[in-house]
Chain A
Amino acid sequence: MKKPVYIFSDGELHRKDNTLYFEGESGRKFIPVENTSEIMIFGEVSLNKRFLEFISQSEIILHFFNHYGYYVGSFYPREHLNSGYMILKQAENYIDEKKRLYIAQKFVEGAYRNIRQVLKYYQNRGKNLDDIIYAIERLGDLIAGTSNVNELMAIEGNIREYYYKSFDEILGNCDFEFDARSRRPPKNSLNVLISFGNSLMYTTVLSEIYKTHLDPRIGYLHSTNFRRFTLNLDVSEIFKPIIVDRVIFTVVGKNIIKKDDFDEDAEGLLLKDKGKMAFIEEYENKLKTTINHRSLGNSVSYRRLIRLELYKLEKHLMGEEEYNPFVAQW
């Protein structure tokens, strides 16, 4: 199985013949081309065209993150799985308002159902979440009846607002109070973790899209401007509650990340490298966790589940089977 490589230190990425290595303060580290799916770059790294050429040829994606752990962008090698047929289908489903709304609703429905599942889990463990679950369920009932994407986005926003309020009850940790959702820069530790986790999720989904015939620039829920990747944002909605948020509950709940893992700087709050690494470890473990897949008849990892979700979407676009989002069973 190919694995992502994470780079935190500063240094240079090089190609030497048909191998890659990273040269940092602690010496040379080789990157196995055949076993690397993507390289996640957090440190200050320089590279050259020769390196990019080889990366492109080996179909490895580079994802860049800034000082705060925010996603900056990707070096996305020239698309290698091109199907004109699939791109036309994707566009056709975008241009037709009704078809677009249907798919967008399914993404929000998936997000809603998975959020609800996470909350139910903690409710069963004695957390007082009745009111929040009730409010979210009322909002969830409205999804299918929305008449345009903006209306749908508003409902999704409201669900999330209620949902994030539940974090205080679930975590019960005064060092990680939610207060309000804040971005760029996040104002408190919990928001830092949410933003960081979401950034990771977007890149994971983008990497999986790269292995399908879908074009990441055509999304359905998040408006497309044909410059930015948006389909990965759409599909991430479904998986954020069951992957990112559960990782947050683990790292805070088990004291893996503590208050002193954050630094205050001029621009805002910042997760230190040690904290980022700890978060990534839990995140990667989560992606590797397998669950039993009924129709496939074998177990699949969460990462694989994302790919299967994309296959389902492809089949919907092809007019084979109506798309229904993945919903966790517990």
Chain B
Amino acid sequence: MYEEVTGSLMQSYNICKRQVWLMAHQIIPDQEHPYIEMGRLIDDMSYDRDRKKINFENVVIDLVRNDNGNLLVGEVKKSSKAIGSARLQLLFYLYKLKQNGIEAKGQLFFPEERKKIDVRLTSESEAEVVSAINEINDIINMDKAPAFEKIPYCKNCGYKEFCLS
């Protein structure tokens, strides 16, 4: 498997290892799932004035903004419930940018909650990102998906019916 680590794998990593494997094998979640549809809409409709969906390498950044001469990259989320994984996802983007010689600030956006949270890449958080990347690669290279384990997240997950059918 040559699947490169992506932002969404980063986000899944904190929640469910099985999801990481499934996503990496292009077994994507049910697109009719209400939360996935909602996420798509929120992402589409919020922050219209900013540049959106910046693609570079295997990274898709939701939003890029000029913040007093500094580059600010943003990740838009429906709710701050899974803030830990959203943070890791954004740190991963900042890490990728840094590897390409671009220093940037990060901000998590929760339009529904009218909330923004700053995220900075420190040496500590960088180590966190690197170890996550390594472990994600190990998961992807597994022959089979990690076995299903029921967690609270399952309730609203787009893979719920796949895992439980």
Contact = CB atoms under 8 A, between A and B. Distances in A.
B25 interface: yes
A145 interface: no
Contacts of B160: 296
Contact of B27 (A85, A296, A307, A309): A85
B81 interface: no
Interface in A282-309: 295-297, 304, 307-309
A213 B165 contact: no
B27 A320 contact: no
Interface stretch (B28-36, B86-94, B124-132): B28-36
A81 interface: yes
Contacts, number: 47
A311 B26 contact: no
A296 B165 contact: yes
The winner among B26, B30, B31, B145 for most chain A CB atoms within 10 A is B26
A81 B32 contact: no
Contacts of A311: 161-162, 165
B164 A85 contact: no
A314 B145 CA distance: 12
Q: Could you say which interface size class chain B belongs to?
A: 10 to 19
B114 interface: no
A27 interface: no
B49 to A, nearest CB: 22
A127 B25 CA distance: 51
B115 interface: no
A149 B32 CA distance: 36
Nearest to B34: A1
Given A211-B31, A318-B144, A320-B144, A83 B164 contact: no
Residue of A295, A311, A315, A318 most packed against chain B (CB within 10 A): A311
Nearest to B37: A34
Interface string B22-48: 000111101110000000000000000
Nearest to B148: A320
B24 to A, nearest CB: 9
A126 interface: no
Contacts of A2: 32
A211 B164 contact: no
Nearest to A294: B164
13 contacts: A81-B26, A82-B26, A83-B26, A85-B25, A295-B165, A296-B164, A311-B161, A315-B165, A318-B144, A318-B145, A319-B144, A320-B144, A320-B145
Given A82-B26, A86-B27, A211-B31, 10 more contacts: A83-B25, A85-B25, A86-B26, A213-B27, A213-B28, A296-B160, A308-B161, A311-B162, A312-B165, A314-B27
Interface of A: 2, 81-86, 211, 213, 295-297, 304, 307-309, 311-312, 314-315, 318-320
